[in-house]
Amino acid sequence: MKEYCTQNNGDCSTCSLVSYNKDCHNNPIHGGKREGAGRPSTGRKKHLFYITDEENTLLKEYLKQLRSVEKWQI
């Protein structure tokens, strides 16, 4: 029971707003964001740019080398 509940003697489960998943102050009853929920960020972002197929091959090789060095230095 919420201290600010004004309907049905404070019994939020019998309130008509429950069918809309809201309490007396229009706050969601269930769900929402939670602290620490979800996958941790890797810090990587998606970047789009135009390159040739040859540049793509070279870039992938360089990225493999870069990521393998990072693993050992951490």
pLDDT per residue over 10-67, tens digit each? 666 677 666 677 776 777 776 667 788 888 888 888 889 899 999 999 999 999 998 8
Between 37 and 3, the more confident residue is 37
Which tokens belong to 37?
């929920």
Picking from 13, 66, 29, the residue whose alpha carbon sits closest to that of residue 44 is 66
Is residue 1's pLDDT more than 60? no
Q: In 3D, which of 32, 33, 17 has the Cα closest to residue 2? A: 17
Q: pLDDT grade, residue 71 (50/70/90)? A: low
Domain boundaries, the chain: 8-30+45-73
pLDDT at 3: 64
Extract the tokens encoding 10: 């404070």
